[in-house]
């Protein structure tokens, strides 16, 4: 685009978005993530025309590099299986690419690009030196034996190892990838490199260089953020009715921390359905079923006398609650569900998952003055502690649980402060989505300006 064409910021943003859609056909999640960021930063672009002149927008929506590769492996019956592996190295203005790996049958280029794009800004908000990236595979870990998981991880890493390293790109977990998978990935990486390059992956088990509190970090960080947001609005978590979707890593530790702070968590879900526990979710039972046995939530009601199971996951949002915490996957909360939540009097929504609310859902929450904690701010605790794991690894040292937890809390409070102060400075007090997008974009754009057109 010529500079003259860039004078009207709204037209300019519209043209960039149109180009993104044309260049990345059919990638609707990626389009959605880009649109959300670009349309909310127009007031900043009005003030910083140098961003337009340096082509920051056109550059920031284009990944620096995308790789995809074949992942062949042999299942327990001796059959050859082939999956597809992905890594998108989106932006390295602030540091090495950093972001998780997702193993789920729905993974494709649109999913990894949307996640990678979000990650750029989320990582910037943590204040730690990390660029943005994401990866994964359409491999479905459900029903696979431990041996099959190991063989898949080894094959996946055989390819991925060409592209990662502690100063290059540092993967971690996401859906379907926890410390078991990171352990197998690390083992194969070490073998291929012939060196114990401990900082090339995070989310490691603490016995092989992981950080304390990494496992809890996303869920705990979400609750630290939400409690700060409530406090700022004269509310607390004490005795609040909370609904959490998902029952994986993020959901479990969000439930645990919310309960520690006095909330009543009534329900949680998985891909097969949800449980409503009138006595409040028993998080230790949940951990045993989901973390250890890797079974469905249907098991939960066997142990709890006052719990019910419902096989439609989405109906979890019909339960009246004060606080809704979507912690499963993207686009869980659409316009229809947002209307139900609002009708039932929801006071706050805290996004634990990435992009769990559609644009229409977000607009409704903001219009109806529901306190809204946007994912790239509120779920940044996971990658923040990954950043702390990188620092510990680089210094060949370990910090105590209390030390990491305190640092996590401080980072989450700081992110809240930046997002709310920026929202206020741009005349939209309370709009944390706008505040988080503007503050993080500015940070990345400034770092890009300094480094020239690369
Ligand atoms: P897990 O794999 O540990 O858990 C995912 C949970 O969500 C499971 O309960 C799963 O159900 C459910 N789920 C996944 N996909 C779907 C789907 N398509 N429909 C319905 N339910 C689904 O993943 P995490 O807890 O790590 O991740 C959850 C969300 O949080 C994701 O959006 C992820 O990107 C985000 N996130 C994760 C971070 C991390 O550090 N792990 C950091 C920041 C964000 P089932 O058990 O049946 O598979
Ligand atoms: O979405 C995310 O922030 C993550 N899955 C965590 C990424 C990381 O590098 O710890």
Residue 96 lies in a domain: yes
Residue 73 lies in a domain: yes
Residue 447 lies in a domain: no
DSSP state string for 14-65? HHHHHHHHHHSTT-HHHHHHHHHHHHH-HHHHHH-HHHHHTTHHHHHTS-SE
Please give the structure tokens belonging to residue 444: 């990345």
Is residue 172 within 6 Å of ligand 2 at its C-beta? yes
Helix residue spans in 100-141 (DSSP H): 109-126
CA-proximal residue: ligand 1, atom 29 (nearest): 353
- Which of 378, 411, 430 is the endpoint of a domain? 378
Is residue 118 within 6 Å of ligand 2 at its C-beta? no
- Which of 198, 231, 255 is the endpoint of a domain? 198
Q: Give the model's confidence band at 3: pLDDT under 50 very low, under 70 low, under 90 confident, else very high.
A: low
Residue of 118, 130, 132, 173 with the most ligand 2 atoms within 8 Å of its CB, for mutation: 173
pLDDT for 429: 97
Residue 32 lies in a domain: no
Q: Give the model's confidence band at 145: pLDDT under 50 very low, under 70 low, under 90 confident, else very high.
A: very high
7 pLDDT more than 80: no
Q: What angle do CA 257, 263, 268 make, to 5 degrees?
A: 75
Distance 102 CA to ligand 1 centre (A): 9
Examine the domain organization and report whether 194 and 221 are in the same domain. Answer: no
421 DSSP assignment: H
pLDDT for 212: 98
- Which of 361, 378, 395 is the endpoint of a domain? 378
Is residue 116 within 6 Å of ligand 1 at its C-beta? no
Helix residue spans in 304-400 (DSSP H): 335-343, 359-367, 375-378, 381-394
Q: What are the pLDDT digits (tens) for 181-230?
A: 999 999 999 999 999 999 999 999 999 999 999 999 999 999 999 999 99
pLDDT for 143: 94
Distance 172 CA to ligand 2 centre (A): 6
Examine the domain organization and report whether 162 and 72 are in the same domain. Answer: yes
Examine the domain organization and report whether 183 and 319 are in the same domain. Answer: no
Look at the alpha carbons of 217, 221, 222, 224 in this order and tell me if their dihedral is positive or negative: positive
Examine the domain organization and report whether 180 and 327 are in the same domain. Answer: no
Residue 82 lies in a domain: yes
How many structural domains are present in the chain? 2
pLDDT for 115: 98
Give the start-end residues of each E strand in 223-263: 241-245
Print the domain residue range for 313.
217-378
Q: Which atom of ligand 2 is nearest to the CA of 173?
A: 5
Residue-averaged pLDDT of the chain: 97
Residue of 250, 268, 383 with the most ligand 1 atoms within 8 Å of its CB, for mutation: 250
Distance 317 CA to ligand 2 centre (A): 25
How big is the chain, counted in residues? 454
Q: Give the model's confidence band at 2: pLDDT under 50 very low, under 70 low, under 90 confident, else very high.
A: low
Examine the domain organization and report whether 165 and 241 are in the same domain. Answer: no
Is residue 222 within 6 Å of ligand 2 at its C-beta? no
Examine the domain organization and report whether 367 and 312 are in the same domain. Answer: yes
Please give the structure tokens belonging to residue 203: 């989310």
Examine the domain organization and report whether 298 and 161 are in the same domain. Answer: no
CA-proximal residue: ligand 1, atom 42 (nearest): 382
Residue 184 lies in a domain: yes
4 pLDDT more than 60: no
245 pLDDT more than 90: yes
244 pLDDT more than 80: yes
Is residue 352 within 6 Å of ligand 2 at its C-beta? no
395 pLDDT more than 80: yes
pLDDT for 189: 98
Q: What are the pLDDT digits (tens) for 408-451?
A: 999 999 999 999 999 999 999 999 999 999 999 999 999 999 99
Residue 264 lies in a domain: yes
Examine the domain organization and report whether 316 and 233 are in the same domain. Answer: yes
- CATH number for position 238: 3.40.50.720
Examine the domain organization and report whether 69 and 139 are in the same domain. Answer: yes
- Catalytic residue, candidates 122, 134, 264, 376: 134
Examine the domain organization and report whether 191 and 224 are in the same domain. Answer: no
pTM: 0.98
Beta-carbon contacts of 159 under 8 Å, excluding residues fewer than 6 positions away, are 69, 70, 71, 85
Residue 112 lies in a domain: yes
Residue 134 is among the residues annotated as catalytic for this protein: yes
Q: What are the pLDDT digits (tens) for 86-122?
A: 999 999 999 999 999 999 999 999 999 999 999 999 9
pLDDT for 1: 54
**Between 6 and 196, where is the model more confident?**
196
Is residue 248 within 6 Å of ligand 1 at its C-beta? yes
Examine the domain organization and report whether 243 and 339 are in the same domain. Answer: yes
Looking at the CA of 201, name the nearest ligand: 2
Distance 256 CA to ligand 2 centre (A): 20
Examine the domain organization and report whether 371 and 273 are in the same domain. Answer: yes
Looking at the CA of 141, name the nearest ligand: 1
pLDDT for 126: 98
Q: What are the pLDDT digits (tens) for 309-344?
A: 999 999 999 999 999 999 999 999 999 999 999 999
Residue of 131, 174, 381 with the most ligand 2 atoms within 8 Å of its CB, for mutation: 174
- CATH number for position 116: 3.40.50.10860
Is residue 63 within 6 Å of ligand 2 at its C-beta? no
Maximum C-alpha span of the chain? 68
């Amino acid at each position: 685009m010529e500079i003259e064409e860039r004078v009207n910021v709204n037209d300019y943003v519209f043209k960039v978005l149109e180009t993104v859609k044309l260049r990345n056909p059919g990638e609707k999640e990626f389009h959605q993530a880009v649109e959300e960021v670009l349309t909310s930063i127009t007031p900043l672009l009005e003030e910083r025309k140098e961003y337009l002149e340096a082509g920051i927008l056109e550059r920031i929506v284009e990944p620096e590099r995308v790789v995809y590769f074949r992942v062949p492996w042999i299942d327990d019956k001796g059959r050859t299986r082939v999956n597809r592996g992905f890594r998108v190295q989106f932006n390295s203005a602030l540091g090495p690419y950093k972001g998780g790996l997702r193993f789920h049958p729905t993974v494709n280029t649109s999913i990894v690009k949307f996640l990678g794009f979000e990650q750029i800004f989320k990582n910037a908000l943590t204040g730690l030196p990390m660029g943005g990236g994401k990866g994964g595979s359409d491999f479905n870990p459900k029903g696979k034996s431990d041996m099959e998981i190991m063989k898949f991880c080894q094959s996946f890493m055989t390819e991925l190892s060409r592209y990662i390293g502690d100063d290059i790109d540092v993967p971690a977990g996401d859906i379907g990838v926890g410390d078991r998978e990171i352990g197998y990935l690390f083992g194969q990486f070490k073998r291929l490199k012939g060196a114990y390059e401990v900082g090339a992956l995070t989310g490691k088990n603490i016995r092989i260089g992981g950080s304390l509190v990494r496992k809890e970090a996303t869920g705990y960080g979400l609750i630290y953020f939400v409690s700060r947001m409530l406090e700022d609005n004269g509310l607390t978590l004490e005795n609040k009715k909370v609904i959490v979707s998902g029952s994986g890593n993020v959901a479990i530790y969000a439930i645990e921390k919310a309960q520690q702070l006095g909330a009543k968590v009534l329900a949680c879900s998985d891909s097969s359905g949800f449980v409503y526990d009138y006595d409040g979710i028993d998080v230790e039972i949940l951990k045993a079923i989901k973390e250890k046995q890797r079974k469905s939530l249907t098991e939960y009601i066997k142990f709890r006398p006052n719990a019910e199971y419902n096989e439609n996951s989405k109906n979890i949002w019909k339960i009246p609650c004060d606080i809704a915490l979507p912690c499963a996957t993207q686009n869980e909360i659409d316009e229809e569900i947002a209307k139900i939540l609002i009708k039932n009097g929801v006071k706050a929504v805290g996004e634990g998952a990435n992009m769990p609310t559609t644009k229409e859902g977000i607009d409704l929450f903001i219009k109806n003055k529901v306190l809204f904690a946007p994912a790239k701010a509120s779920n940044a605790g996971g990658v923040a502690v990954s950043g702390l794991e990188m620092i510990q690894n680089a210094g060949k040292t370990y910090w105590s649980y209390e030390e990491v937890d305190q640092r996590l809390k401080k980072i989450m409070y700081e992110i809240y402060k930046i997002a709310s102060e920026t929202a206020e400075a741009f005349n939209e007090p309370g709009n944390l989505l706008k505040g988080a997008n503007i503050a993080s974009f500015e940070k990345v754009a400034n770092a890009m300006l300094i480094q020239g057109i690369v």
